[in-house]
Structure 1
Amino acid sequence: MKHLFTETFRTPGWPTWAQYLATTAVVTAVLLVRVWLGPHLSGFPVLLFFAAIIVCAVLFDRGCGIYAVLLSAGYVAYFLLSPIYSLKVASPSDIVGLFLFVAIGLATVTIIAAFHSTLHNLAEANTRLAASEQEKDLLLREASHRIRNDLTTLMALVKLQYRTVQDETARAMLAATADRMQVLARVHERLRRDTSKTTVGSYEFLSGLCNDLRTSMIGLRPVVIRAEVEDHALPQDRAVAVGLILNECVTNAMKYAFPDNRPGIIAVRFRREDDALVLEVRDDGVGVAFDGPERARGTGLGQRLIRSMVAQLEGIYDIRPNGGASGTVVTIRFPANP
């Protein structure tokens, strides 16, 4: 039946004469089958003709369905009802039966025509929806491309300024600004549409961000960044917040955890736990004294940025020593479905 309804989107394109000729052929074929099966179907002269009416109404239009009803009624009266080979029907009960056949046949055609209309409306709606979705995807790609280009231009200007500045504090601030712009650019590089929302896949985004940090910050230093990231769809604003937090945490670890070219590992994990998403950045560096360094007290700009992003995620921020080992663990936990 599914394939039969699929045909309804093709056969209405046939010429009118071809549709009515095919209807005549179908009804005539049913008559021949009915005559052949006559001994086995005595008392049911109209039964098989309902199949012909349904097929013609489904494959063609309402007019062909009505024509199939009337042609079937004529065939039944002429070939199957007494007197045979005459359109005159002798039995009152046969007249009533033939009238009911026509009425039920016309009702069936009307219902199928309604289905036709509904199917065509759905097909047109799906076509418009598909065109709309393609247009939205195109606009999203175009907007993301332009924003990414603008951010790249800004990063180039910041880095150019970085080379001309001699003050180390100013240079550090410009470098941090460029890194944060890189996070925003990577978000727009990974944008995709998920139903009605714009999302970023966490695996590609955070793994790529770790690769960027590994390339830009480590260089020849004996420090390894390991990323273990599950793939979850993050809305654009949450992806920005998570990316900035990760950038600040890894940057802080590189600055403070491995002095004097000390070797070490920075392990990044992003996973789902029950109804929460968890970002964890763990290093095996020298650790921190929580009443001493600026990194632990949280008075620096990076720490303020982290706390601001955590508040935006409606999450919890925790920083503590790495259990019984050396180093520090930063954990961000926030609702998976805000």
Structure 2
Amino acid sequence: MADDTASALPDWFPRGVPSLAVSVAGTVAIVASATLLRYALGQPLQSFPTLLFSPAVFLAALLFDRRCGLLAIVLSTASSAYFFVYPYNSLTLPLASLVPLCIFVLTSSFVVTVTDTLRQVAARLDRAERNKSLLLDELAHRTKNDLAIVGSALQLQARSSDDPAVQEALATAVARVNVIAAAQDRLRYREGIGQVDIADYLLGLCTGLGDLLRGVRPIAVRLEAPTMTVSGADAVTIGLIVNELVTNAFKYAFQDNGGGAVDVKIEREGGNLRIHVRDDGIGCADDAVSGMGSRLVRLLAQQRGGVVSRVATETGCHVTATLALEEMPDVRVRP
């Protein structure tokens, strides 16, 4: 499941509003900073006495809330009038000096209103995005649990049967269900796209297959896969193909208690993915009967616009499956 819920807001956007005391103190600090900066600049901004106070009002409304934005307008107007618009020693303001202050108050009030409205809309979108992520996580969790129940039911059915063929068929079905469950377990939802780290996923899959199938035979399962993400649907397809090919290698490539190795290699070429499974067993039999696993691999590859090839090597058998990956938009992963 996702480690954290997705957010519709950028990383720098403030989440929530601080306490009233903190908000007021922050607003005062922002206006005071604008006042000091305006005082330091002096003559160059003589004709624009309220210029630096507009960003201060915007920041107060953005970082805190509408009330702090209005407070910033009051403080900015008073500071501007007292220090820059008219000399300090006068008790009255000429009418001409009130014009820029009135314009500043009107424009700043509009900025505060718009900023607060946008903030509320963004907050609602953020909550909706987080709720969607939670629902997706819950859906994936329930799917994983349902698959686990299906696998357990098949295992119980296999134990209750005395027919070895039935037991083997049910065990194979359980393995395929576990492949899909493993993909769900490693599914990550980012920006609305369900993604799986294929290297991590296949490492767990190959390790589990080796422990399950080798028994007392010294057979190693080795994986070479790049660090990349694929869609959840592609991950299931890749996992099923690897599961079938590795299982077939264990079943047919190594006789008696002989040892060896099964190498799984994943290569990406543009929008295509190539899956290599090599073994150093007895080789590819010319008269091998195409079983359910082999037909499933071909069907999965064909559904993705790919092909499956099988060639004998000097040290065993080499099966290659090529398939086209789903196109996914580039997404920025939050740390």
TM-score (norm 2): 0.74
Identify which of 188, 195, 200 aligns with 2:191.
Answer: 195
> Which residues of 2 match residues 42-81 of structure 1 at below 5 A?
44=46, 47-52=48-53, 55=56, 58-59=59-60, 60-62=68-70, 65=73, 68-69=76-77, 72-73=80-81, 79=87
- Cα offset for 1:218? 0.9
Identify the residue that residue 247 of structure 1 maps to in structure 2.
Answer: 243
Identify the residue that residue 257 of structure 2 maps to in structure 1.
Answer: 261
Identify the residue that residue 211 of structure 1 maps to in structure 2.
Answer: 207
For 2:112, the aligned partner's letter is A
Identify which of 296, 302, 307 aligns with 1:311.
Answer: 302
Structure 1 residues 205-214 or 130-139, which shifts more? 130-139
Structure 1 residues 151-210: Cα deviation after superposition (integer angstroms, max 9, x where no partner): 33223223313xx323x4334323322322232332233222232132332122211111
Identify the residue that residue 92 of structure 1 maps to in structure 2.
Answer: none
Aligned residues with identical type, % of pairs:
24
1:139 to 2:144 alignment: no
CA distance in 2, matches of 1:58, 1:181: 54
On the 8 A contact 2:193/2:231 being kept in 1, the answer is yes
For 2:234, the aligned partner's letter is R
Identify the residue that residue 319 of structure 2 maps to in structure 1.
Answer: 330
Between Structure 1 and Structure 2, the one with more helix by share is 1
SS of structure 2 residue aligned to 1:225: strand
On the 8 A contact 1:310/1:332 being kept in 2, the answer is yes
1:279 to 2:297 alignment: no
SS of structure 2 residue aligned to 1:282: strand
Greater Rg over alpha carbons, structure = 1
Identify which of 64, 88, 92 aligns with 1:87.
Answer: 92
On the 8 A contact 1:221/1:261 being kept in 2, the answer is yes
Structure 1 residues 286-313: Cα deviation after superposition (integer angstroms, max 9, x where no partner): 21243x221xxx3x21221111111222
> Which residues of 2 match residues 15-54 of structure 1 at below 5 A?
41=43, 44=46, 47-52=48-53
On the 8 A contact 1:70/1:102 being kept in 2, the answer is no
1:237 to 2:233 alignment: yes
On the 8 A contact 1:250/1:266 being kept in 2, the answer is yes
Identify the residue that residue 228 of structure 1 maps to in structure 2.
Answer: 224
- Cα offset for 1:72? 4.3
Structure 1 residues 48-57 or 206-215, which shifts more? 48-57
CA distance in 1, matches of 2:99, 2:269: 66
For 1:333, the aligned partner's letter is T
Number of aligned positions between the proteins: 304
> Which of structures 1 and 2 has the larger relative contact order (alpha carbons within 8 angstroms, sep 6+)?
2
For 1:207, the aligned partner's letter is L
Structure 1: 5+ residue runs without aligned partners?
90-94
For 1:310, the aligned partner's letter is A
- Cα offset for 1:271? 2.5
CA distance in 2, matches of 1:41, 1:262: 91
On the 8 A contact 2:158/2:166 being kept in 1, the answer is no
On the 8 A contact 2:277/2:319 being kept in 1, the answer is yes
Structure 1 residues 29-51: Cα deviation after superposition (integer angstroms, max 9, x where no partner): 959x96xx9xx74993x644543
On the 8 A contact 1:54/1:108 being kept in 2, the answer is no
CA RMSD of aligned residues (A): 3.8
Identify the residue that residue 178 of structure 2 maps to in structure 1.
Answer: 182
CA distance in 1, matches of 2:58, 2:281: 78
- Cα offset for 1:251? 1.7
SS of structure 2 residue aligned to 1:155: helix
> Which residues of 2 match residues 127-166 of structure 1 at below 5 A?
127-129=126-128, 131-161=130-160, 164-166=161-163
Structure 2: 5+ residue runs without aligned partners?
1-12, 61-67, 328-335
CA distance in 2, matches of 1:88, 1:206: 77
Distance 1:86 1:261, change over 3 A: closer
For 1:222, the aligned partner's letter is P
CA distance in 2, matches of 1:237, 1:198: 9
On the 8 A contact 2:56/2:72 being kept in 1, the answer is no
